[in-house]
């Protein structure tokens, strides 16, 4: 009789813990979804910084969540800086941090076209209007006509939690951008 009670107690404890685990698994994402998102964003920021300092051998330059790696810079007094409301023309390639190409500007020798991807328009893009993804928008505001840079940013400034085209959900993005024209408004 004593052993039956012990087995019964163990079964009740197991049932209690399994129900607790079930409810935690069900409720935790609804109660605290931002915990996972913050962890992912912080991890992506560290991954981006490692990529910049390790792979690119460049200095980390971050502002407003966007990491900026200049490739060519115009330091002349005639520099035409990109400002909110300007219309820009770009030549660009867009990749995930893992290196998967998902978009590029239309060009005869574009890597995207060679890989069968649909080229995206790169003319008449209004900066600061909210029509571009936030990371690209913020990064372009650091550039000028004729300048080329690599803009890297976490998923929160890209496509977010959505799976968009060839971009998996929660992907850190890398844009290699050349500003070929700036039309002032």
pLDDT tens per residue across span 129-174: 998 999 999 999 999 999 999 999 999 999 999 888 889 999 999 9
Q: What are phi and psi of 98, to 5 degrees?
A: -75, -5
Quick: pLDDT tens for 87-137.
999 989 999 999 999 888 865 555 555 555 555 667 889 999 998 999 999
Residue 159's closest CA among 178, 138, 132, 140? 132
Integer Cα distance of 140 and 96 in angstroms: 18
3 pLDDT higher than 90: no
Do 175 and 105 contact (CB within 8 A), yes or no? no
Mean pLDDT, the chain, whole residue set = 79
């Amino acid at each position: 009789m004593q052993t039956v009670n012990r087995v019964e107690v163990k079964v009740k404890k197991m049932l209690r813990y399994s129900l607790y685990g079930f409810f935690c698994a069900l409720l935790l994402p609804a109660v605290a979804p931002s915990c996972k998102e913050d962890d992912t964003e912080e991890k992506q920021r560290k991954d981006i910084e490692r990529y910049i300092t390790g792979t690119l051998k460049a200095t980390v330059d971050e502002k407003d969540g966007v990491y900026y790696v200049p490739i060519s810079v115009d330091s002349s007094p005639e520099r035409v800086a990109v400002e909110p409301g300007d219309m820009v023309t770009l030549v660009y390639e867009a990749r995930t941090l893992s290196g998967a190409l998902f978009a590029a500007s239309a060009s005869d020798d574009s890597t995207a076209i060679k890989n069968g991807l649909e080229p995206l328009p790169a003319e008449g893009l209004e900066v600061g209007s909210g029509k571009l993804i936030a990371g690209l928008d913020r990064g372009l505001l650091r550039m000028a006509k004729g300048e080329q840079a690599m803009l890297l940013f976490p998923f929160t400034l890209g496509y977010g939690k959505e799976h968009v085209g060839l971009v998996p959900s929660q992907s850190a993005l890398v844009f290699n951008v050349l500003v070929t024209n700036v039309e002032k408004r």
